[in-house]
Structure 1
Amino acid sequence: MRMQNDAPPGRYGFEAFDCAPALRLQANERVTSLQFAAIEERMSRLEAAMQRLERRLWLAVYGVVGAILAQAFQPLLAAVQ
């Protein structure tokens, strides 16, 4: 049965403590998780930028094709009149 402060019972009359290797491992795991989160965020921003760039590129391609088609049909329209 636990005490009122909900602390785990001590072992052999000693207080519970964290050892340095365990703390170092926890710190390394935390740093690694933060690094992965930062990489994921950068990748999502990069993917969004690439999608915007792709849309702009297709818009430019359609614009060039439209200009070429307009120049191709211009003599035909002049000949009909």
Structure 2
Amino acid sequence: MTIRRPGEGSRFLYDSFDAASARIEANERVAEERWSALEFRLGQIDAVLERLEKRIWVGVYGVAAFLLAQGAEAVIRTAMR
């Protein structure tokens, strides 16, 4: 490599470029972005599952209330006879 003298052209003609290091840094940035996207998506999935769980419990409580109402109605009808 030639030593660069001030004012003698572009530094890119004389400075070495470490391609392996640049490739590793680029891969690390890509992996970091993928990881953050994965965390974001997992957060969305978690929120959807929580909403689904709430809906399922509302359904379970609704069925239980219906069955209790039917049982109470049957008890009241037999007591009235």
TM-score under structure 2 length normalisation: 0.75
**Percentage of identical aligned residues:** 35
Higher RCO, 1 vs 2 (CA within 8 Å, ≥6 residues apart): 2
Q: Which residue in the other structure is 1:32 paired with?
A: 31
**Cα RMSD (Å):** 2.0
Q: Distance in 2 between matches of 1:68 and 1:17?
A: 79
Q: Which residue of 1 aligns with 2:43?
A: 44
- Per-residue CA deviation, residues 42-81 of structure 1 (Å, 9 max, x unaligned), is 1000000000000000000000000000000002223348
Q: Which runs of 5+ in 2 are unaligned?
A: 5-10
Distance 1:17 1:67 in 2: 78
* 1:16-58 deviation line (CA, Å, top 9, x unaligned): 5541111100000000000000000010000000000000000
